[in-house]
Amino acid sequence: MNRTVTVIALCFLFAGIASMAGCEERQNRQPALTCLELPPRSGAKGDILILLHGYGSNEKDLLQLAPLLSDNLHFISTRAPLRLSPDRYGWFPIEFRQGEIIINREGARKAKKPLIDCIRHIIREHNPPQGKVLLMGFSQGADMSYLTALAEPSLLHGVIAVGGKFPEAATLLNRNPEVLREVPFLVIHGKYDDVIPVKNGRKSQRWLERHLDKLEYREYPMGHEINIDAVNMIRDWLRRSLDHSL
């Protein structure tokens, strides 16, 4: 049986519900975030993996990895709020300084609130088994994963950050260090990443090693991408972190 993708606008009070071709579309006059939802193949409730795409992409991007990662997870892929052009979105504006991408702190702060609100809504709406919700972000989505975990670690049971930049003021942003310490992290970076160089991954490794009990850090011979070795690592880490067959 084919798995279906449900198009939903999450994190709002529903103004109306419509269905088309087996897909359910929920709309609101002012939805906070739009997402694509891929339920577990079994139809039963599953642990939730929330996907955060990179700058210039959209919610369809990372969802393509779902069949390679798990049949039993409930995937919810979010669309970033900043519209760049048709089908291209970002979490916050990009800044460059001395040839490097810099996190726009004000833009990231504005994007973080609706994302956290959305995660809270997902937890209430779906009530996952044992409340397990994980974040997986690529590039700017990895930046948002870091920021969300630092701000609200109690919402999460794991974070996967691929090809991202670690926040400069992480220690100041770490609001609940004892809770954050218990959240497992998997950080992956490409050795040949020419968009966000590998030194950024190594920087995140150094900070997280001091502040987490469970960190796995991996580098792969790839650029700014997620290759099959990284996908296999993510699948294995999810299996171990959730302690069940995927």
Residue 42: domain span: 6-242
Q: What's residue 245's pLDDT?
A: 52
What pLDDT is stored for residue 46 in this prediction?
A: 85
**Into how many domains does the chain fold?**
1
Cβ neighbors of 239 (< 8 A, separation 6 or more) are: 245, 246
Paired tokens of 126:
């779906």
138 lies in some domain: yes
Does 56 reside within a domain? yes
- pLDDT for 24: 33
Do 190 and 224 touch, CB atoms closer than 8 A? yes
Which pLDDT score, from 0 to 100, does residue 84 have?
Answer: 95
Amino acid 175: pLDDT: 81
CATH of the domain at 195: 3.40.50.1820
Residue 17 has a pLDDT of 23
208 neighbors 187 (Cβ within 8 angstroms): yes
Give the separation between CA 53 and CA 56, rounded to whole angstroms.
9
198 inside domain: yes
pLDDT of residue 88: 97
The residue with tokens 């960190």 is 215
Residue 132, class by beta-carbon neighbours within 10 Å (0-12 exposed, 13-18 middle, 19+ buried)? buried
Instruction: Specify if 154 maps to a domain.
Output: yes
The torsion region of residue 40 among left (phi > 0), alpha (psi -120 to 50) and beta comes to beta
Residue 1 lies inside a defined structural domain of this protein: no
Looking at the domain assignment, is residue 196 inside a domain?
A: yes
Dist. CA 77–CA 130, nearest whole Å: 21
68 in a domain, yes or no?
Answer: yes
Helices (H) and strands (E) in the chain, counts: 7, 14
Question: Given its phi and psi angles, is residue 6 left (phi above 0), alpha (psi -120 to 50 degrees) or beta?
Answer: beta
Q: How many CA atoms within 13 Å lie on the side-chain side of 115? A: 34
φ/ψ of 77, rounded to 5, equals -105, 125
In the numeric block, which tokens belong to residue 91? 């979490």
- Kindly give the confidence (pLDDT) of every residue in the chain, 246 residues in length, as a single tens digit, with 9 standing for 90 and above: 334 333 333 343 222 222 222 223 333 333 478 999 999 987 778 899 999 999 999 999 999 999 999 999 999 999 999 999 999 999 999 877 777 787 788 888 889 999 999 999 999 988 877 779 999 999 999 999 999 999 999 999 999 999 999 988 887 788 899 999 999 999 999 999 999 999 999 999 999 999 999 999 999 999 999 999 999 999 999 999 987 555
DSSP E strand boundaries for 62-184:
74-78, 82-85, 88-90, 94-97, 100-103, 133-138, 159-162
| Cβ atoms 76, 122 nearer than 8 A | yes
> Model's pTM, two decimal places?
0.86
Q: 64: Cβ–Cβ under 8 A, 6 or more apart, which residues? A: none
Q: Is the CB of residue 163 less than 8 Å from the CB of residue 61?
A: no
| Residue 176: closest CA among 157, 150, 144 | 150
